[in-house]
Chains A and B, each alone.
Chain A
Amino acid sequence: MITVSFRPAPCICTMLSGAGGGSNDVQWCFSQVKGAIDDDVAEADIISTVEFNHSGELLATGDKGGRVVIFQQEIENKSQPQCRSEYNVYSTFQSHEPEFDYLKSLEIEEKINKIRWLPQKNAAQFLLSTNDKTIKLWKISERDKRPEGYNLKEEDGRYIDPNTVTALRVPVFRPMDLMVEASPRRVFANAHTYHINSISINSDHETYLSADDLRINLWHQEITDRSFNIVDIKPANMEELTEVITAAEFHPHQCNTFVYSSSKGTIRLCDMRESALCDKYSKLFEEPEDPSNRSFFSEIISSISDVKFSHNGRYMMTRDYLSVKIWDLNMENRPVETYQVHEYLRSKLCSLYENDCIFDKFECCWNGNDSVVMTGSYNNFFRMFDRGQRRDMTLEASRESSKPRQVLKPRKVCAGGKRKKDEISVDSLDFNKKILHTAWHPQDNIIAVATTNNLYIFQDKVN
């Protein structure tokens, strides 16, 4: 039984486990899988971030090896309506390299922590990618023409002796095979002492923020040698440190508003108009602790791993270890909806603490119209919660269910007692197979789900 607390009137609503049926239910089908098939995962291939661009035509992934791979959606094939458009590799480039911090004698990982697309302004695409310390602005542009007919150069590049030239001609552009080039346009470095966990582009299309464990900086997209510090929670004495920033995001429409979440389960909404340093929050979102569930792990599992505004800007979603919460921006004292992702893990917290799984940072995402939210879990399961219909679904990203257009079968975890057929017991879950990163197409029912080193793309069934 999945419990949802849906307030304002204190009421616990029971979620119906969606198993298909009903004309409104989406049936998810396998579409594609990207990445190596073998089980031996190279460390560098571990996917660390997934992000659709604003139109959904491009899908970017970042990995632990510092590479960015961009997939492009092919134009839908009109003659085969049941075959939805596919995503194919569009560009691959090395975004970040490993570095060495000499002052601290520590390596700086090249792992891409976040990718965020800029809204498209011209023919080229721009994205921000960041590792622990440095943010880079990349320009991805297409070249499908090249100049031919130079007077002083042969086609193969050799120079022509000017003395042999008897006539002049004007070089012309001729079509060539499409070439996609990625070039770094800006490097925003040396502004973060701690590890960057979030970047977020402002709706003003000029600025963006970057957040590390203790500070948030505001940048102008054009200016790389300066950034403004807008949040600083570093205590004067580091020994007094008890709370860190875990995620931050700008409001989708209000360019003065942003939120940041903490390791203590709080979210602060800040208004940049109030002061230059937004250490005083405008709103503090925090749910009082449930005393019956109190344990030594309460704080750890309350730590928020991701925060995302809804597309309409009225709500925000937070992900902590066991649940997803939807907050109304006008109500600070409790979320309006709470969805349990894998409540059966509550009794396993000690083991999960021992093997460090309790520190896994799951992300979450909204669908295009904010009616469904999605997040990942273990055993390559991912969960969807339909807010309107109060249905939830557990699906699995696996090679076994990877036949083209194969409909995904809902999965069920058996928490205790008799295990029914097709259910999987908690002790059989593979905690090495975790889905931390998921993304939803901004308009359509297309989702990208990252397992350790594979990217799965699922689409809803086209009738």
Chain B
Amino acid sequence: MFPKGTKRKFSDSGDEPPAGSDDVNQPSSAAVRMLSSYSLQRQSLLDMSLIKLQLCHMLVEPNLCRSVLIANTVRQIQEEMTQDGTWQIMTQALSAANAAAQCSADRLVATEVLCRQTEAAQGEPAPKPFPAVGSEGCSAEEVVVVEEEDEGVEGGVIMSTVSPQAPTAYLPSTFGIDPCWEEETGEEEDEDEDSEECASGSEEGDNDRLVEDSRTAEQVFGTFEIKNPAPSPDPALEELFSDVDASYYDLDTVLTGMQSAPKMGPYDLLESLSSHGPSPLSSSTSCRSDLNELDHIMEIIVGS
């Protein structure tokens, strides 16, 4: 529903008050206010876009056109923020804040979810056009280091080498949750001056999960990939999958469970079917290994 009495309207650049209304020479407290309000609006737009990308995983395949447009918008905002230096300031502030704070387990789920999607939007920073979908994301750190070159920080930032194992997490500020910066894994080649760490006790587990979650970025667009043409539905298979638990499609389950759900062995599946247990069928990204398992399961069920 379109809310009446619109809240927090984003006044596009075209709608901003004409410059002539203010005395140009006046030290622009008005201009500063305008700028900060613009930054706030831009920030809220970024937050909104990231949430929209995050909610892409539904039962039905998400709309690719919509995802692409949102991702392009996020990239645009990020480029602009990088150009006017806001991005660096923000990442520094966040990393400093996070170094002191501790990520509590409760907040991790939410932060993870947003971390992942931001990563989906990130890529290499300007001037290189960065991919809308990046499992190779570590732009924030790279940017930070680049900008700090002048300040005597060791250069040698390798902007071109990005490792798929380096998820960079950025959390929109409006959530007020401490961001969860991922330490770059050993495979990362970048010299990481600001080794942002997720200061939580279960770092290892987080690392694993977030490393796996870097694949989610691919999933925003990668879901659309199929290596093999879809087979025509097999009525036997339909019966097999007909009692998939509905809670499987709960957002949290989808986003966390999809990556970290243990691969079910054939006996697990049989057990769950016979007991009508609500264990979700894992539908992980590596469909190919699942297909092998599926063959195995079918063999057992068919009794060949």
Contacts and interface: CB of A to CB of B under 8 A. Distances in A.
A101 interface: yes
Contact residue range for chain A? 35 or more
Among B61, B223, B237, B241: residue with most chain A CB under 10 A: B61
A241 B66 CA distance: 12
A190 interface: yes
B233 A100 contact: yes
Given A103-B230, A106-B61, A296-B77, A238 B218 contact: yes
Given A238-B225, A241-B68, A195 B61 contact: yes
B4 interface: yes
A242 B76 CA distance: 12
Interface in A71-113: 99-109
Given A300-B69, A350-B9, A429 B64 contact: no
Contact of A242 (B2, B72, B218, B231): B72
B39 interface: no
Interface string B86-130: 000000000000000000000000000000000000010000000
Interface stretch (B12-20, B146-154, B166-174, B180-188): B12-20
A6 to B, nearest CB: 23
Given A99-B233, A109-B60, A243 B68 contact: yes
Interface stretch (A15-23, A250-258, A352-360): A352-360
Contacts of B226: 101, 103-104, 193
Contacts of B238: 100
Interface residues of B, number: 61
- Secondary structure dominating the interface of B: loop
A102 B241 contact: yes
Interface in B201-250: 217-218, 221-226, 228-233, 237-238, 241
A290 to B, nearest CB: 10
A449 to B, nearest CB: 21
A238 B221 contact: yes
Contact of A106 (B131, B135, B223, B241): B223
A351 B3 contact: yes
B2 A351 contact: yes
A297 B65 CA distance: 14
B13 A294 contact: yes
A299 interface: yes
B132 A241 contact: yes
B133 interface: yes
A164 B243 CA distance: 56
A132 B66 CA distance: 15
B63 interface: yes
Among A104, A239, A246, A348: residue with most chain B CB under 10 A: A239
A349 B6 CA distance: 11
B14 A350 contact: no
Contact of B48 (A99, A109, A353): A353
A430 interface: yes
Contact of A244 (B65, B136, B218, B223): B65
Contacts of A297: 12, 73
A226 B48 CA distance: 43
Given A238-B222, A296-B76, A190 B229 contact: yes
A294 B76 CA distance: 12
A275 interface: no
B73 A299 contact: yes
Contacts of B132: 239-242
Contacts of A237: 131
Among A103, A244, A431: residue with most chain B CB under 10 A: A103
A213 B62 CA distance: 12
21 contacts: A100-B233, A103-B228, A103-B231, A105-B283, A106-B61, A107-B60, A108-B61, A194-B64, A195-B63, A239-B131, A239-B133, A239-B136, A239-B217, A239-B218, A241-B221, A263-B68, A263-B69, A293-B14, A348-B6, A350-B8, A356-B52
Given A102-B241, A103-B231, 10 more contacts: A99-B233, A103-B287, A109-B60, A239-B132, A239-B221, A242-B68, A296-B45, A303-B65, A348-B6, A431-B2
Interface of A: 99-109, 132-133, 189-190, 193-195, 213-214, 237-244, 246, 263, 292-297, 299-300, 303, 346-357, 359, 427-432
Interface of B: 1-6, 8-15, 41-42, 45, 48, 52, 59-61, 63-66, 68-69, 71-73, 76-77, 123, 131-136, 217-218, 221-226, 228-233, 237-238, 241, 281, 283, 287, 291
